[in-house]
């Protein structure tokens, strides 16, 4: 028709639809992140819901309600016990930064030889940034109550995540049945069922391992910093735990921040910090992490780095966090589709 090859036209049309899909996904990436966070939260609560449901068979909604009530109570108790301490330490550190940076401690902070000629310029730049941080962060911390209304845009996703997670937990089995039932019986349905089951297994193991690794990191750093009497132990241990959710770069960023804080505060013992970080990384990367993720995500290091960097470009820090499970899911889908295609090719006509 009009000298246009139909096969080429179909290929171009397919590429156009695929590009359009990617554009739509990029445009609604914030919404996807909210739903992804809800799925993550649902997987975190799933073991607890399953445990409660053993005592309340066939009453999943009631089990979910009980878990949410217990969760709210636990978070409230932890919030009153830990958050005030962390907020106080954060305020104290930010308030002291300008004086610490202009003091003599920073002049003794070890720098690479090639940075030594720029030490004075670095101190001036850091002092300027610290002053700006103090003028913006400290009033925000001190006047949080008066700024709640202006932050509703940030609170809405936090409210939606547990609500969406409730429905994922409540209707997860029905969603799985609907997805499988949407495909005609046969090899395609079997493939879809295998994909869903393997994706569920990957997410369950990955999220369980990630949460346990974050808790282990927080406890280890809290004990270490408390025993050696370092300042801001709750704040920095919490930072180390949160940074575990960012693959590859998170633990290194936590170490860098600790070295800077202890360097400018004159706490000393930077070598002990580096030694503990190295020993803990060896323990976590070669013992704890493989044990927790034994049936979870198996990705090449280069693919992980690519995913983290690409995720940061697409959606910032949340993109870095979700990059690994997304790549793992794509790997599962590709493997099963390839197996299904091979079987169809080898099947007798």
Position 153 pLDDT exceeds 80: no
- Which pLDDT score, from 0 to 100, does residue 72 have? 79
pLDDT tens sequence across 161-173 = 888 888 888 888 8
Q: How many CA atoms lie within 13 A of 10 on its CB side?
A: 3
Please tell me which residue, 136 or 317, carries the higher pLDDT value: 317
Local confidence band at 131 (pLDDT 50, 70, 90 cut-offs)? low
User: Which sequence spans correspond to the domains of the chain?
Assistant: 183-349
Average pLDDT score over residue span 103-132: 59
- Which pLDDT score, from 0 to 100, does residue 217 have? 92
- Which pLDDT score, from 0 to 100, does residue 73 have? 79
Position 160 pLDDT exceeds 80: yes
Average pLDDT score over residue span 129-147: 50
319 vs 33: CA distance, rounded Å:
8
- Return the exposure string of 4-31: e unless at least 16 CB atoms fall within 10 Å of the residue's CB, then b: eeeeeeeeeeeeeeeeeeeeeeeeeeee
Position 109 pLDDT exceeds 70: no
Least confident of 69-73, 119-123, 142-146: 142-146
Position 151 pLDDT exceeds 50: no
Please tell me which residue, 156 or 13, carries the higher pLDDT value: 13
Local confidence band at 112 (pLDDT 50, 70, 90 cut-offs)? low
Average pLDDT score over residue span 174-185: 78
Structure-block tokens of residue 82: 């830990």
- Which pLDDT score, from 0 to 100, does residue 126 have? 61
Local confidence band at 149 (pLDDT 50, 70, 90 cut-offs)? very low
Average pLDDT score over residue span 274-283: 90
Most confident of 96-100, 176-180, 194-198, 222-226: 222-226
Position 329 pLDDT exceeds 70: yes
User: By percentage, how much of the chain surpasses pLDDT 90?
Assistant: 5
250 vs 316: CA distance, rounded Å:
13
- Which pLDDT score, from 0 to 100, does residue 323 have? 84
């Amino acid at each position: 028709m009009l000298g246009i090859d139909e096969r080429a036209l179909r290929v171009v049309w397919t590429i156009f639809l695929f590009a359009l899909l990617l554009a739509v996904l990029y445009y609604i990436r914030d919404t996807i992140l909210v739903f992804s966070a809800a799925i993550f939260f649902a997987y975190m609560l799933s073991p607890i819901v399953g445990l409660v449901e053993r005592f309340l068979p066939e009453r999943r909604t009631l089990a979910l309600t009980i878990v949410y009530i217990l969760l709210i109570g636990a978070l409230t108790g932890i919030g009153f016990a830990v958050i005030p301490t962390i907020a106080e330490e954060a305020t104290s550190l930010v308030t002291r930064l300008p004086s610490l940076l202009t003091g003599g401690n920073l002049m003794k902070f070890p720098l690479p030889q090639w940075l030594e000629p720029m030490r004075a310029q670095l101190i001036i730049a850091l002092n300027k940034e610290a002053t700006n941080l103090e003028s913006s962060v400290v009033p925000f911390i001190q006047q949080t109550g008066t700024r709640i209304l202006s932050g509703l845009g940030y609170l809405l996703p936090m409210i939606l995540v547990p609500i969406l997670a409730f429905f994922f937990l409540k209707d997860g089995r029905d969603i799985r049945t609907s997805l499988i039932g949407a495909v005609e019986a046969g090899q395609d349905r079997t493939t879809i069922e295998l994909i869903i089951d393997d994706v569920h297994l990957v997410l369950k193991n990955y999220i369980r391992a990630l949460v346990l690794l974050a808790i282990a990191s927080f406890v280890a750093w809290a004990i270490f910093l408390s025993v050696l009497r370092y300042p801001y132990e709750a704040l920095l241990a919490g930072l180390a735990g949160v940074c575990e959710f960012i693959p590859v770069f998170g633990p290194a960023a936590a170490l860098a921040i600790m070295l800077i804080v202890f360097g400018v505060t004159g706490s000393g013992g930077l070598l002990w910090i580096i030694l503990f970080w190295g020993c803990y990384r060896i323990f976590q990367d070669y013992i704890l992490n493989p044990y927790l993720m034994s049936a979870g995500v198996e990705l090449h290091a280069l693919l992980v780095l690519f995913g983290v960097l690409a995720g940061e470009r697409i959606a910032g820090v949340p993109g870095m966090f979700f990059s690994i499970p997304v790549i793992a899911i794509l790997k599962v889908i590709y493997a099963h589709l390839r197996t299904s295609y091979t079987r169809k090719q080898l099947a007798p006509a």
